[in-house]
Structure 1
Amino acid sequence: MLGRVALALKLEHPTSAQRFAPALCLPTPSRPSLTSIRLLVVSTNRAKNQPIPSTHPRPVRVSQDVTSSPLPPKEAILRLFSKTPQNSYRVKQLETSPELAEYFLDQTNLLDLLYELASSKRPQNALLAINISRRLGHEVDMTAYETVVRRLGVLEEWALVLRVIQSAWHNVHRSTPALLNWRARALLETQHYVALNSIFDLFKLNDLSPTRLTYHLVLSGYIRNHDLAGARECLRDMADAGFPPDASTHALIATLYQKIGPDEQVKEAGIQSLPYIHARTATHMMNSLMQLRIRIFDLDEVLHLLSAFDQRKSGVLALMLAASRTRHDETVLNPSTYRTYPVTVQPDAVTFAMFIDYFADLQELAHCLSVLDHMVSANVEPTMRTATSLIRAYFLTGQGGSAVRMIAAMCDPATTSPAMFQNVPSPDGHALPFDVTRLGPPTRAVFNHFLRGVLSTHGLPGAHTVLRLMRCNGVKPDSRTSEIITSHTHKHERAQPRVLMRMIRKHSPRFTLQEAHIVLASTLRYQKFLVDGVGWDVVAARFSRSRTAGVRAVPEEALSTVQPVSDPVAGLRLPPRARQRGTFRAIEQSLSDRGIKSDRATIALRIRHDAVVRGDMDSATEVFQDMLTRGLHPNQYHYSALMEGFVKAGDFESAVDVMKAASKARFEPDVLMFTILIVGYARRKDPEMALRIFRRMVSAGIKPDVPVIDAVSSAFFFVGAYEMSHRVLISLWEHISPLPPQIEHTSLKSAAVYFRSLHRGQQQGSKKTSKEFRKSLYRAIASLMQDWRVFKRKESSRMRRAALEDKDQKPVNVY
């Protein structure tokens, strides 16, 4: 299966013959032969390393396509670029047509032509057109380069932006402030932070002065790179250069700070800047502040921030959000008063899309579509962001066919056939939520969201289909595409680290910290398995009187660490004997060369390694404090890692203190934190306390999932109460999923294995439960508590009788 995905990814780098083949993509057999795969791999690798052969395709004849063409000059030249692949042949045909050459050399016409070429499916033709103009004897000025770069920037073709700017320097030997700022933006988007920080040297080299925008771009790089010390230094340099931080600076920081974590001071500074910034900037900033609070489920703050928007357009969102809170938790009180903001912010498509995402997480598709209706009634036009949110919502609510219907409508019918939609949900019978064809062809972001959804329903075969759709619509996969497939392979296919590493090395256009995190997480999972084992039986062997469970030392295949935490992967190092160590070093070196620093996710992985695998809580807490010193705010993953380490060490008091600290930081205890406590009490052979912790979780309104119920049932298994363990499993099972027929009569092992299989398909849903749900679960827990007490009394009586019988049977020593 992995080979099929690899094949699909390799198809994104076609041979020269494939580049100019007929446009329509026909469906391939679902299982290509091994021979065809090998031949295709060889050909694609050859295409990567060799230039396009001059014999393919044959150039079109001038008499047929240029001089004899009835098309206007502009259309004839555009057709020339689409039909003739080599610049040398294009130059020859232009030289034989004075009319086209004259049109091509006119400055106004050239700028219009460059814009059209940069907007085409092959935007690199714009740079080739500049080179043709120079070969024809016309030296273009910097306006031509700026026109191309500006259009490529809008299309987010950042690698090509850098190529055009480099070409401008090579040809003209100078640059402009606009081009240098676009270079800074491209370096920011491609995460080349070392080069970004040296952008001021290029301004000095060109005898130019950086602008406030330049400093803002560099400041954005520091914040995105989690380098707050560098950001503070950048602000000082900015003030020294005559650009003291103003309202736009505070708005920028507030917009980007969601990567660092919630900060009240940053938020307030951004809000105070509202009267002095552009309306679109204000909307962007408020959207970012709301998005951060939605992610941590701080709905009170979301309602406060939402009151800053035009209530004629967004008031219904506040009503829907408040009703949703009450529907899922009757005890919550929505704010009765809201703060007053200095200006009224206008909502945009992103504002409504965030609430589509929120209701999608609750699996409330009707409310998602209601948000769309209110957006249209508020005269806010849907955008690609709206489409991606709806695609995500359809998959999360089990309506993937509607998402496929959207993609099919957006794809180019000239290059996409209906037969291509294999291994994806059927679009038959599904209607479009709105006219998505007005949005234009699907973007890379749309396909990436679609890919994530298809992977959740059809796995890797579906990914093969999505990648072919991208290729047939002229969309190249990016690093995010590689991350999505690799992450799925890690989490659901349980692939080994070396397999993941091989996928990343071959198919990622640019190594990212997220890809390194996936490899490290896979290695840590394998290491934890070597130390702790897996399954109930491994733990139960430690408590058995007749079995021996050996103590497992940290294996040689383990990750190692360095102190203090070093970038870019938080000081984690792959095992010396790991097969992927050499290839992973290339990723690590690439990240280091670009100046990428450890993010919060990588630091959380380091904390979990030190706390859970090594059992070194001193090191784990030191890493946690180092993160705080950097100015990074912890999230639920950092708190959970510390809790798991303390629980494994038997320090439940410290684990509870960590949970309280998370609550104070507005991260309310979730199902994962309670599961950690329950697992700890289960391994301490205290099933009654495990059941009490579960009841406390239910009273907090947290919806149980498969792992937490599995942990409660395991607590009884570990003490040998197998019948009680089976009873607990069946009793709690029916509260999260319908019971399969005759499951009560199966063995405990069969029931547990089937129950765990439900976890893969279990949707997130609401984090809160209704009052009726809690009452029903309370009754089940109370019944289990009573059954356990009866079981303990019977077991105690049985053991006393057995002890008396053993005493009576012992021979009496009369001497």
Structure 2
Amino acid sequence: MLRGAGRIRRQHIKEVVLNIGKHPELSQTILPSYSYIHSSCLSHAALSHAPAVDSYSLRRATKSSSSARVCNRLSSTRLSLIPSIHSVLDAHTSRGLRADCGPFPSGVLDVVNAFMCGTIKERKYVLQKIKDCPSTCRYFTHRECATRLAQAMASTMQPSRANVVMTIAHKLGCRFKPSHFECVVYELSLRECWSYIPSLVSVARHQCGRATARLLNWKMRAFIECRRFCQLDRVITEFSREGIKPIRRTFHLLVSGHLRNRDLDSAKRGIEMMENAGFPADSSTYALIATVYRSLGLDPQVHTRAFDSVRDVDARMATHVLNSITQHFLDVGDETGAAQYIRFFSLTDADGSDIATPGNDITRIAGALSPHQRTGRASPFRINPDIVTFTILIDYLANQRRLCQVHKLLLRMTEAKVKPDSGVVAALIRAYFLNNRDDLAASLFAAMLYPCGADRTSQHLCGIMGMKLVSELPIDVNHIPLTVHIFNAMLKRIMELRGLTGAKFIFRTMRSRNIKPSATTIEIFLNYLDRTENATPRQLIRFLRGMSTAIYGLTLRHFHVILRNILRREKYLTLGSGWNAASKLSPSREYIYALPQGRVLLSSANFDPSNGLKLPGQFRYDTWLRPIVLFLANRGINNDRATIAMHLRHESMVDPTLSTAKDVLRHMIEKGMYPNQYHYAALMDGYAKGGNMGEAERTMQSAREAGLRSEVVMYTILITGYGRQGKPQLAMRAFHRMVSAGIRPDIPAIDALARAYFTVGAYKVARRILLQLWTQVKPFPNEMQGATLKQLATAFRANPRNGISQQRSLTKQQQKLLNWKIRGFQQEWKQAVVLHGPRILARRLNRCRAWLLKHSWDGAVKHYM
């Protein structure tokens, strides 16, 4: 465990995990009432073969006594259900309809459930009972009626029933056409139940004797959404095997899938195959590439070609392209570039005039390019914005803490006659949380849960968040469906306030509303365990497997959480923590830079899932991490830029020469991915740890030349590097450059600056830095006025994520104030050098390091203060 990490409440976390997806209605219908993980946490492959998984679980259950009792209860439930089927079906006209069945009688649902969970013998019995009941048989023997029944089952809590209905109907002699399966597949796609589509297409081919181009296209789309990229080329092979000629959409799906998987070479081969098949790349092709190119980075050529093709595509695709380009620029913080494309949206004021005028808040995001400034691009056309356009802008303005502009944007959305959806509501909830308006966020959430008024659960929500609900809401949320995105927006904040208790409340509410958790839900929960509960990598992996049942449904973002946790612990084992780490790497002290023997946590080979996992024998998490990496590799998932950035961080710690890190970065560029601020920061950190500050400065300059804005993290690396070398004046100069660039300092930057002076024994300067710069990041507690340097440093470093936002740039007045304080720090440092002299400071520094070796930095501060 890290220093200061508290004890994990394992039982509490286990209860939260088990509460993620229980459905009591399903338990009462089919299964006995014992705890199990919800099917939404299962893999897409496992869900498509639910009966086989159940049979396997039953066979495993007989191996233990407790599991055998569960198996017997399940079997008795099934056997007691089947004899009553006939009487239930005969009397279905006199029974009330169940909500889960829609317009169909509840007896039909019982039949489908019994067949889905039964053995081969039990399924034969169910089929015979259906034949003996004409009132029920007609739902399965008439293909139009069976198709409607399958479509209705696709919208229930268990969409796999749709596949079961088609199977039952076929066994009863119903013969379908491929068009009937296409209707069911389309209904599954509307519910985003992509995991069931490949198996249903296989059933269609088996029952109809052939497949169609539309069905195979749906199958390829399902593999893309399920992140099973290794299956894309196999679908193309199925076209050849079935004698079906692929259409343009087929190749567009193939290219988009490879681009989403960061596989530029395969995407190029897909375009070549499309051209060889007689479909040359056109405007729709370039527009499609622009919409899925985000994972590879910002490419001006791709955007220019896609924008030139906007005139030749339909209005919906044109809006989609412009949204994607805008999102790309906002990802890298290029407001000017985003404004160049935002101005092409046709937005009007209430009086009918175009809002693309000086002073509006949409095209001038934080003072970006005004429409009257020429960009060299004519604007002879306008594109209608959609709800995604406003969601993108709301999220960006919320991250910049510009709540007033968010409200103005809502007015523009109303004037443009764009109806809000659940995505906008989720974006507003995140915006209010980021701007410390928890009351508005909770009110929106409560209005979505209970449109007719408050009840006990809404009062419970107020009690958990410790606030009262407001009556006036910024938008009307009536008739907006409640989705998992809204719960995800609430989950992060409510766990910050109430921890695991808040998480249990959210998961129970989701279960009561029949809303399934998503991959983002699990990611948010893992991030909380990592950052707040200080869970170990082994615990994170165990919880991940518990939530997704043997890592089914695992994504690369889940893997990032675990890797980040391992890297942080590797850094702690290598460098330590706190101001003691700075003195440990000082050049005047002998220190062997190497990882502890027998405690190696990572190797460079485990960062590429496509190549499998090769770990040293001393790897402590080999058994736990290997199944995750193999799962990603078996699905053909390639590394993304975040994984490569972690790889660079790891190599910068274990190899001071950065030879491997440079090769990794070169390989990433060759694969078509553009480096961002995190990659350059990882290289800078490696150079700074090795004492090569010149290369660190040149790396930051290279980032600027690549069009990336220097961030506070890069300057913090420079400040820390100069502080380790015992050069506080150069650290202060780097801090001054950061302020002059308009970058707001954060807690790590100020802490690194104070640590640089502490390292050379200038304790009064370090104390003054903390006192005068404290209010730049968070309010100063009055009780700390007479505190010692030790107490100030400990309090300042506590809860670094609770400080004031660092998103907005410094104003001119704030820059002048900080520059005035910097001059005061520099003057005090000069006076300390003149008063004490270099020798006295060096003597104090040696005595301080002796104390650091014996008592840690806390004892040294206490001794010298």
TM over 0.5: yes
Larger CA deviation: 424-433 vs 585-594: 424-433
Distance 1:735 1:407 in 2: 32
Is the aligned partner of 1:19 residue 2:27?
Answer: yes
Give the AA of the match of 2:748.
P
Distance 2:72 2:295 in 1: 36
- In the other structure, the counterpart of 2:524 is 484
Deviation at 1:739, TM superposition (A): 1.1
Q: Aligned with 2:798: secondary structure?
A: helix
Q: Aligned with 1:340: secondary structure?
A: coil
Q: How does 1:175-186 map to 2 (within 5 A)?
A: 175-186=211-222
Q: How does 1:53-64 map to 2 (within 5 A)?
A: 53-54=77-78, 61-62=87-88
Deviation at 1:236, TM superposition (A): 0.8
Decide whether the 8 Å contact of 2:19 with 2:504 is kept in 1: no
RMSD: 3.6
Match for residue 824 of structure 2 among 783, 787, 803: 783
Q: Aligned with 2:419: secondary structure?
A: coil
Distance 1:43 1:5 in 2: 23
Distance 1:15 1:354 in 2: 34
- In the other structure, the counterpart of 2:448 is 410
Is the aligned partner of 1:86 residue 2:114?
Answer: yes
Q: Using a 3 Å threshold, how does the CA distance of structure 1 residues 763 and 207 change in structure 2: closer, same or farther?
A: farther
- In the other structure, the counterpart of 1:275 is 311
Q: Aligned with 1:745: secondary structure?
A: coil
Is the aligned partner of 1:391 residue 2:429?
Answer: yes
Deviation at 1:366, TM superposition (A): 2.7
Listed one character per residue, the Cα deviations across residues 136-185 of structure 1 (whole Å, up to 9, x for unaligned) are 43233322221111011121111122232233234334322111111100
Q: How does 1:403-482 map to 2 (within 5 A)?
A: 403-411=441-449, 417-418=457-458, 421=461, 423-424=464-465, 426=467, 428-429=469-470, 431-440=472-481, 442-482=482-522
Give the AA of the match of 2:93.
T
Give the AA of the match of 1:503.
F
Decide whether the 8 Å contact of 1:608 with 1:642 is kept in 2: yes
Distance 1:65 1:368 in 2: 57
Normalised by the length of structure 1, the TM-score is 0.87
Deviation at 1:100, TM superposition (A): 5.2
Deviation at 1:277, TM superposition (A): 0.9
Q: Using a 3 Å threshold, how does the CA distance of structure 1 residues 193 and 712 change in structure 2: closer, same or farther?
A: same
- In the other structure, the counterpart of 2:768 is 727
Q: Aligned with 2:691: secondary structure?
A: coil
Deviation at 1:268, TM superposition (A): 1.2
Q: Aligned with 1:438: secondary structure?
A: coil
Match for residue 166 of structure 1 among 186, 202, 205: 202
Decide whether the 8 Å contact of 1:691 with 1:781 is kept in 2: yes
Larger CA deviation: 3-12 vs 579-588: 3-12
Is the aligned partner of 1:709 residue 2:747?
Answer: no
Decide whether the 8 Å contact of 1:572 with 1:606 is kept in 2: no
Distance 1:246 1:265 in 2: 16
Q: How does 1:142-291 map to 2 (within 5 A)?
A: 142-291=178-327
Match for residue 526 of structure 1 among 555, 566, 569: 569
Deviation at 1:607, TM superposition (A): 1.2
Decide whether the 8 Å contact of 1:226 with 1:599 is kept in 2: yes
Deviation at 1:91, TM superposition (A): 6.2
Distance 2:673 2:345 in 1: 29
Q: Using a 3 Å threshold, how does the CA distance of structure 1 residues 124 and 432 change in structure 2: closer, same or farther?
A: farther
Distance 1:571 1:685 in 2: 43
Is the aligned partner of 1:762 residue 2:803?
Answer: yes
Distance 2:384 2:841 in 1: 75
Q: Aligned with 2:599: secondary structure?
A: coil
Match for residue 556 of structure 2 among 496, 502, 513: 513
Distance 2:72 2:566 in 1: 31
Distance 1:47 1:266 in 2: 57
Q: Aligned with 1:283: secondary structure?
A: helix
Distance 2:697 2:193 in 1: 49
Deviation at 1:365, TM superposition (A): 2.2
Match for residue 337 of structure 1 among 342, 351, 374: 374
Decide whether the 8 Å contact of 2:390 with 2:413 is kept in 1: yes
Deviation at 1:335, TM superposition (A): 6.8
User: Gaps (5+ residues) in structure 2?
Assistant: 1-8, 34-65, 116-122, 845-865
* Corresponding pairs, count: 779
Larger CA deviation: 214-223 vs 766-775: 766-775
Distance 2:489 2:755 in 1: 37
Give the AA of the match of 1:188.
I
- In the other structure, the counterpart of 2:62 is none
Give the AA of the match of 2:785.
E
Q: Using a 3 Å threshold, how does the CA distance of structure 1 residues 362 and 287 change in structure 2: closer, same or farther?
A: same
Distance 1:682 1:44 in 2: 64
Distance 1:253 1:45 in 2: 55
Distance 2:841 2:222 in 1: 77
- In the other structure, the counterpart of 1:598 is 639
Is the aligned partner of 1:557 residue 2:599?
Answer: yes
Deviation at 1:370, TM superposition (A): 2.1
Q: How does 1:534-613 map to 2 (within 5 A)?
A: 534-540=577-583, 552-561=594-603, 567-568=608-609, 576-613=617-654
Distance 2:648 2:387 in 1: 38
Listed one character per residue, the Cα deviations across residues 409-445 of structure 1 (whole Å, up to 9, x for unaligned) are 33489999446647446462354332323122x2233
Deviation at 1:102, TM superposition (A): 3.6
Give the AA of the match of 2:600.
A
Q: How does 1:669-680 map to 2 (within 5 A)?
A: 669-680=710-721
Match for residue 168 of structure 2 among 132, 136, 141: 132
Decide whether the 8 Å contact of 2:587 with 2:724 is kept in 1: no
Normalised by the length of structure 2, the TM-score is 0.83
Deviation at 1:795, TM superposition (A): 1.3
Q: How does 1:614-633 map to 2 (within 5 A)?
A: 614-633=655-674
Q: Aligned with 1:319: secondary structure?
A: coil
Listed one character per residue, the Cα deviations across residues 58-92 of structure 1 (whole Å, up to 9, x for unaligned) are 95753785132487999662533556642469867
Deviation at 1:217, TM superposition (A): 1.0
Distance 1:494 1:676 in 2: 24
Match for residue 496 of structure 1 among 520, 532, 536: 536
Decide whether the 8 Å contact of 1:118 with 1:126 is kept in 2: yes
- In the other structure, the counterpart of 1:68 is 94
Give the AA of the match of 1:54.
R
- In the other structure, the counterpart of 2:154 is 118
- In the other structure, the counterpart of 2:355 is 315
Give the AA of the match of 1:301.
G
Deviation at 1:334, TM superposition (A): 8.2
Distance 1:189 1:48 in 2: 38
Q: Using a 3 Å threshold, how does the CA distance of structure 1 residues 114 and 786 change in structure 2: closer, same or farther?
A: same
Deviation at 1:21, TM superposition (A): 7.5
Decide whether the 8 Å contact of 2:93 with 2:105 is kept in 1: no
Q: Using a 3 Å threshold, how does the CA distance of structure 1 residues 344 and 719 change in structure 2: closer, same or farther?
A: same
Q: Using a 3 Å threshold, how does the CA distance of structure 1 residues 54 and 579 change in structure 2: closer, same or farther?
A: farther
Larger CA deviation: 645-654 vs 68-77: 68-77
User: Gaps (5+ residues) in structure 1?
Assistant: 26-41, 804-815
Decide whether the 8 Å contact of 2:600 with 2:620 is kept in 1: no
Deviation at 1:539, TM superposition (A): 3.0
Q: Using a 3 Å threshold, how does the CA distance of structure 1 residues 206 and 270 change in structure 2: closer, same or farther?
A: same
Give the AA of the match of 1:337.
R
